[in-house]
Structure 1
Amino acid sequence: MMSLNRRILLSATLVLLVFIVGIALTLDRAFYDSARLGVKDRLFAKLLMLMGDAEVEDSNELDVPTNLLDAEFGHVNSDTYAFIVDPTNTIAWRSNSSLNKPMPPIALLEKGRKEFSQIMLNDEPYFIFRYGVAWETPAGDYPLTFIVITDTVLFEAQIERYREDLWGWLSSMAIFLLTTQMLVLHWGLQPLRKVSTELAAIESGQQENLKGSYPNEIQALTDSINSLINHEHKQQKRYRNGLADLAHSLKTPLAVLQGAIHGEEDETIRRKTIREQIDRMDNTIQYQLRRAATAGSSPGMGLIVLRPMVDRVVNTVTKAYRNKHPHITIEIDETIGLKMDEGDLMELLGNLIDNAFKWCRQSIHLSAYNQENQVVIQVKDDGSGIQPHEIAKILERGVRADQSTPGHGIGLAIVRDIIQVYDGELSIENHPAGGLCVTLRLKGSKQH
């Protein structure tokens, strides 16, 4: 694919060429019309001078003194010549310069009529100016037509010189503008080349993120790239830590299982030990897998409306606890949303609501509200609560406040890890009216 630099340069070159050609054609036409108008004015001026020198006698005879004529009309080799047509449509007078020159068709014009045009005589182009007048004499008006003709040699030479100069200057200007444009593009696209260089350095492992200072137009892009890189690094770190913790957590139950196999305990005790260690290993594996699967916050993550997600989780957990029918109160506005991965939010709400169902007696209260730039989520139940000194333990992996209810410690530990990934806060306290109150604080956004 063509590079961005070449695309911009090619597009700008095409636009510049179209502009230069358009300007050249416009100026050429304007100069051509101006030069043609100049020829017309020059011929008309000579015609007026000829009229000033001409006289009509009382006998209707035309007299043009040769000593008063324009010098161009007196030279045989002049490129300008003139003649006068009388009422009989014959040439009553012609200049010395018209000798051996082609003559146009003779026609008498009406009084006051002017004609300027370009004609072909003997396959050569000429400019001709005709002017019809009515000369006042004692016997009445005497119609005459004055005609002045010149060839186009001088006119065409003038146009040719102008075009040479015009295209020369415009070509020089185009080269200058293209060179300037290339330098400007090279300077303007330098930040993008810098981004490309830094990305290559990141790919080769020479640096971890984009460190340069960039213009405001691409600063948001570089910040987003850095956020994606940091998110990926955190995700890889969670995977590595999850594997390391999993290997470490399995050492103890594996050692117990190995001792039970080679030990001399009673068969019933041995089976009980094996079952307990298998349950412990299963809980540990589930926890580490869920912990490693936490997506975490990343740029461009969509906004998820909280209320529909809570309703879905409540309906699902209700089906799992068919023997319990607590009164559930939900106070969550439809405008409250969170920028989270949908799977992480489901896991978070699922563990909290599941624990509330396990421990509640008759009621569960779910609420959420905006506080400054945070969303505060509270899950309350009317269970027996937890002793203050055990609240810290309940957040530790694999520790349960009540050993008769399996999985409670792992669920809250998963909630803790998800909250930490999203830079949130988790607090647990006994509700004054009885039961447990779990409070989450996460960065939120309001629907409009």
Structure 2
Amino acid sequence: MTRRWQRFYRRLGASLRVRLMLSAAFMAVLFMLALLPALRGAFVIALEQSIQQRLAADASALIAAARVENGRLTMPDKLPNEEFDNLDAKQLGYIYDSQGRLVWQSRSSRDERLDYRPRYDGQTHEFLQIDDGGGRTFFVYDVEVDLLRGQKAAYSIVTMQPFSDYQGMYDGFLHQLYIWLGGALLVLLGLLWFGLTWGFRSLRGLSAELDDVETGNRDSLSDEHPRELLRLTNSLNRLLDSERRQRERYRHSLDDLAHSLKTPLSVLQGVSETLAARSSDREQARVLQGQIERMSQQIGYQLQRASLRKSGLVRHRVQLAPLLDTLCDALDKVYRDKRVHVVRHFDKGLWVPMEQGALLELLGNLLENAFRLCLGEIHVSARVRDGYCELKVEDDGPGVPVDQRERILKRGERLDAQHPGQGIGTAVVKDIIESYEGELYLDESALGGAEFRIRFPVL
């Protein structure tokens, strides 16, 4: 399970669009989280201002109803604001003198036990919050008056209201705020995904053109891309052209080298044949012919090695079944006395991500060894899975001793060193496998002979 999650995270990290989307989503979430307290604070400020205005209006109603007679405060039995006279109401009213003594309180406040002492210090009004000691919070509006209906007075008019009256409104606002911010976040993420998808359309077009270049369907990238990508496409086109011209020059140089060496080797071959006709020079002629043959093999090997290497930018594919048919037909003619039966374990439509010449040389050498050493049966398997291509050739021959397998698979060793002159082709096979960043494994086949397994990544 851990490996699956690791592969999942690697796949996510490999996508530029997913990376940008995750970054944008992270920034959007941070923005919403920062916006949430700001909006909540703005609502609280607006709510407190509304409460202050209401309490100020209630205080004004008390001031309008108050009278001063013979230096004493009198209040009517029935106040204009009926909530002050209702015992079940939450609107509380108090009047204190300048020494902080309570001189009047509304009927609605008689069951409340609030320890509040106003400060008559010349401030016009004050709005604050207090706690009753039982976990309830009250909003308090305290206004000082020094005149009542033209008569000198010194009182603090206090109106109160519990915060619980607004708790439902506050909770409802938070609920709606969460819903709206969540919906806005989803809409924003959708717009971001749409914008990134639209913005990456040009990159998908560039990727499609690169796929066409790799498969050989086009030679270069077009200029129909955004301005920011033109420098990249131009650089890639120059690289493609440079690689193409370099490969052509390399191939022509090798052809010229082979042609220039062909004539001297032919002359030396003629000289060796002349020497061989003389009985006294036959030993020298045999040595000379052996060296000439070795030089010819090395030239052929180097030419094959250079021409069958993996290309840098262009990827090729070849269908395995037709190529295997061609090889088996040719080998059946060479080993027709054996009547070898080749069993195939792969889909007929399987394509191998390799150049045709390289695959032909690789399978040709392995199959030639299998045909030569088998008793009569060969199995060829192939599959492409999990980003790797695997080819396997098995036979029912004598196999390879266990103590010889490590030496055979070592870099630079021949796969068939016991037969002189047969190491060139298998050396090319080794170079082809290495050029595709692959590995060659040698095991014992279920048929009883050798099993050669090739595994290389599909880029």
Distance 1:40 1:182 in 2: 46
**Quick one: distance in 1 between partners of 2:173 and 2:259?**
90
Q: Does structure 2 conserve the Cα–Cα contact (< 8 Å) formed by 1:79 and 1:151?
A: yes
Q: Taking structure 1 as reference, are residues 108 and 220 closer, same or farther at Cα in structure 2, changes over 3 Å only?
A: closer
1:184 counterpart (171, 195, 198): 195
Among 137, 149, 155, the alignment partner of 1:125 is: 137
Match of 2:56 among 44, 47, 69: 44
> For residues 366-408 of structure 1, what are the alpha-carbon distances to aligned partners after superposition, in whole Å with 9 as ceiling and x for unaligned?
xxxxxxxxxxxxxxxxxxxxxxxxxxxxxxxxxxxxxxxxxxx
Matched residue type, 2:252: N
Describe the superposition over 1:382-435 as per-residue Cα deviations: whole angstroms up to 9, x where unpaired.
xxxxxxxxxxxxxxxxxxxxxxxxxxxxxxxxxxxxxxxxxxxxxxxxxxxxxx
Equivalent residue runs for 1:93-108 within 5 Å = 93-107=104-118
CA contact (8 A) 1:127 1:152 kept: yes
- What aligned pairs does 1:186-265 form with structure 2 within 5 A after superposition? 186-211=197-222, 213-259=224-270
Instruction: State the alpha-carbon separation in 2 of the partners of residues 229 and 18 from structure 1.
Output: 45
How many Å separate the matches in 2 of 1:162 and 1:29? Answer: 12
Query: How far apart are the structure 1 equivalents of 2:123 and 2:247?
Result: 98
Partner of residue 55, structure 1: 67
Q: Identify unmatched segments of 5+ residues in structure 1.
A: 265-284, 293-448
Give the direction of change, closer, same or farther, for the CA distance of 1:255–1:103 in structure 2 (3 Å limit).
Answer: closer
The one-letter code of the counterpart of 2:88 is N
Unaligned runs of 5+ in 2: 1-9, 276-298, 307-459
TM value normalised by structure 2? 0.53
The aligned amino acid for 2:25 is T
User: What whole-Å deviation, never above 9, does each CA across 1:321-346 have from its counterpart, x for those lacking one?
Assistant: xxxxxxxxxxxxxxxxxxxxxxxxxx
Instruction: State how 1:289-304 maps to structure 2 within 5 Å.
Output: none
TM superposition shift of 1:241: 1.1
Q: Are the structure 2 counterparts of residues 76 and 240 from structure 1 closer, same or farther at C-alpha, using a change threshold of 3 Å?
A: same
1:171-201 residue CA offsets vs partner (Å, 9 max, x unmatched):
1111001011111111211222333333344
Equivalent position SS for 1:146: strand
Q: How does 1:13-32 map to 2 (within 5 A)?
A: 13-32=25-44
Q: Which residue of 2 aligns with 1:134?
A: 146
- Whether contact under 8 Å (1:56, 1:135) holds in the other structure is no
Which amino acid in 2 is paired with 1:61?
A: R
> More displaced, 195-204 or 230-239?
195-204
Q: Residues of 1 paired with 2:91 and 2:255: CA distance?
A: 106
Query: Structure 2: how far apart are the matches of 1:228 and 1:178?
Result: 39
Contact conserved, 1:86 with 1:108, CA < 8 A, in 2?
A: no
Distance 2:85 2:210 in 1: 85
Within 1, Cα distance between the matches of 2:39 and 2:102?
A: 41
Q: What is the percentage of aligned positions where both structures have the same residue?
A: 30
Residue of structure 1 in register with 2:442 after alignment? none
Partner of 2:19: 7
Distance 1:96 1:200, change over 3 A: same
2-side partners of 1:136 and 1:50: how far apart?
11
Moved more, 1-10 or 97-106: 97-106
Report how far residue 211 of structure 1 moved. Answer: 4.3
Structure 1 residue 202: deviation in Å?
3.3
| Cα deviation 1:191-244 (Å, max 9, x = unaligned) | 223333333443344444334722111122112112111211111111111122
Q: Which structure has the larger Rg?
A: 1
Amino acid at match of 1:16: A
RMSD, matched Cα: 3.0
Contact 2:66 2:148 in 1 (8 A): no
Aligned partners of 2:67 and 2:149 also within 8 Å: no
Aligned length: 267
